[in-house]
Amino acid sequence: MERSRDWMDQAQGDLEHAQHDLEHGFYEWACFSAQQAAEKAVRAIFQKLGASSVKIFYPKLNRSEIII
């Protein structure tokens, strides 16, 4: 079953949630919601292109490697 539209709708909702959190000073939640929106949008794109599943990998970083 092709659900790319569902994933994109969920991504849009997460992005709106992130914007609301940002406006109200909930920066950690804004970052989390924005990251969730990005993942769901990527899933939507891959599913639209015909991928049956998507695995998102994150590089392992040592805390000393994180640059802010």
The pLDDT value given to residue 18: 97
Tens digits of per-residue pLDDT, 5-63?
999 999 999 999 999 999 999 999 999 999 999 999 999 998 888 876 666 666 666 65
Q: 21, 29 in Cβ contact below 8 A?
A: yes
As for how many domains the chain has, the answer is 1
Spatial contact of 29 and 58, defined as CB atoms under 8 Å apart: no
What's the number of CA atoms in the CB half-sphere (13 Å) around residue 67? 0
Type of residue numbered 33: S
**Could you list the residue range(s) of the whole structural domain that residue 56 is in?**
4-65
**In the predicted structure, residue 68 carries a pLDDT above the cut 60:** no
